[in-house]
Amino acid sequence: MTNKKIPGSEAVILSLIEENVDIIFGYPGGAMIPIYDSLYDYNDKIKHILTRHEQGLVHAADGYARVTGKPGVCFATSGPGATNLITGIANAMLDSIPMVCFTGQVGSSLLGTDAFQESDLIGITMPITKWNFQITKPEEVPGAIAKAFHIAQTGRPGPVLIDITKDAQMGLLDWKYEKCTKIRSYVPETPVDIAKVNEAAKIIDNAKKPLLLLGQGVIIGGAEKELQTFIEKTGIPAAWTLLGLSALPTEHPLNVGMLGMHGNYGPNLLTNDADVIIAVGMRFDDRVTGKVSTYANNAKIIHLEIDPAEINKIIKTDVAILGNSKKSLQMLTEAVKQNTHKEWIEEFKKCDEIEYEKVIKKDIHPTKPGLTMGEVVRMASEKTNHEAILVSDVGQHQMINARYFKFKHSRSHVSSGGLGTMGFGLPASMGAQMGAPDRIVFSVSGDGGFQMTIQELGTIAQNKLPIKIIILNNNFLGMVRQWQQLFFDKRYSFTQLHHNPDFITIAKGYGIEGSKVDKRESLDAAMQKMIDHNGPYVLEVTIEKEDNVFPMVPAGASVSDVMLEP
């Protein structure tokens, strides 16, 4: 590209075009006006989505990144605009989501003076970004952006933040852009050690009761086919974490369900019977392990992981295979012997039968008059032939979604895992829909979380995003209420939402169609009407107030102490 002098603000936009960015989620403000002025001339090359709140735009960028695998990009102004991004950045950091966030900043001569709408974004975001940088000179723009995109999407992905002073946006530079492919001292991916692969293969070949735990690292690494090939060769049952959902088809015969506090009975109970645990792209989160001192004591642990910091952080590893899971799984598959574990898998099937009778049947085929979360979620999945993308908010319904929605394709489940951010669902569904415009996207929220970002109905309406929005309404903060019921003698302290609004009237105020269902005989037709509707639609479903989520591993308990009922 021929060198020419341009303002730093235009260099930002041209840099994004060079990085093949097609969508920006943003909200303008005083410290970002020069960048927005430059964007005005390039709106035929980059689409900008104006959200209704900065938290909405950062979650939207997150949802976009999860379904596409590309970095989500967002803009916010200085001061309160920038600090409103913090929750979303922390959410992305914990869930390893690639994002590049841009914030405006006061002029460099005003830094540190407590100027109007000044905040120390570099200091604030240092613990919750993979990398951050403050641009104070226009000539720093191209190099900083190239570096940001390289860091965000290589190795273990994560959010990066670039803070740009106003004078850097307005000053001139000689324009030239070179993509970043290498940074000194930054080693995003360790070469796979064949000796470790062979050591692991011997353990796997001698295992009688092996169990594979798959996390989001399988999806991030694009290792879905390699995972399936590995388990089919070895006959090893596989259980997924919350963020590992959709990496393997739900109906695959070796998929034994979800791990964790509200996961399936078999993979939780039998973890402590396994003699080998193969963890792929997961970090042994406390919601998976329960009481660490009693976790998988009979098993040798093989950990396939791209981030060395996760090795031995929580669970002691016998063999660690560092590197990208796509490469390490290929090598491990070549090294292991063909095998089957029919008797071991039968133990999971027996657990499934117990769980079905004690939990699942009541959730999806209830005999009580009130509607359950499970029957609503399963119906949505079945009516779309398990082809849809599910975007979940946080709470009881999040666990029910994970248990009863089924998946055929990878990158079909979007949920806040590590941070557990209420209000995530609705704005994340905007990014998911824009990242996968040809697929049906469900946004499922509780009445509490939905109200945290309800204003994004305006963004959905303005952009005519055909999201199918389901509100599961029990007039409670359901997950906290469940804990209060089970462990605090039903002392429902400030968890009842006594005065929820008329959600359908609010939706119609934004020009979005909707309906409310409180009877089982009306659910099927209402669900079909929502799916068939050409455009966004809100379906509010009244749920039993004490509709709880089981199985449940109580906090601090062993995974084998999983409860099937109160």
In the set 4, 47, 116, 137, the catalytic residue is: 116
Tokens 């079945």 — which residue? Answer: 382
Q: How far apart are CA 120 and CA 452, in angstroms?
A: 26
Q: How far apart are CA 89 and CA 74, in angstroms?
A: 11
Q: How far apart are CA 562 and CA 546, in angstroms?
A: 20
Residue 73, strand partner residues: 100
In the set 166, 209, 300, 362, the catalytic residue is: 166
Which sign, positive or negative, has the C-alpha torsion 508, 510, 512, 516? negative
Specify whether 116 is catalytic: yes
State the helix-helix crossing angle for 325-335 and 194-205, rounded to 10 degrees. 50
Specify whether 405 is catalytic: no
In the set 373, 399, 430, 479, the catalytic residue is: 479
Specify whether 479 is catalytic: yes
User: Tokens at residue 65, please?
Assistant: 């990144």
Specify whether 346 is catalytic: no
Q: How far is CA 145 from CA 95, 127, 133, 139, in A?
A: 22, 20, 10, 11
State the helix-helix crossing angle for 396-404 and 478-487, rounded to 10 degrees. 100
DSSP state string for 41-89: GGTTTSEEEE-SSHHHHHHHHHHHHHHHSSPEEEEE-STHHHHTTHHHH
In the set 10, 19, 54, 140, the catalytic residue is: 54
8 A C-beta contact, residue 322 and residue 305: yes
The alpha carbons of the chain give a radius of gyration, in whole angstroms, of 24
- Residues with a catalytic annotation lie at 54, 116-117, 166, 479
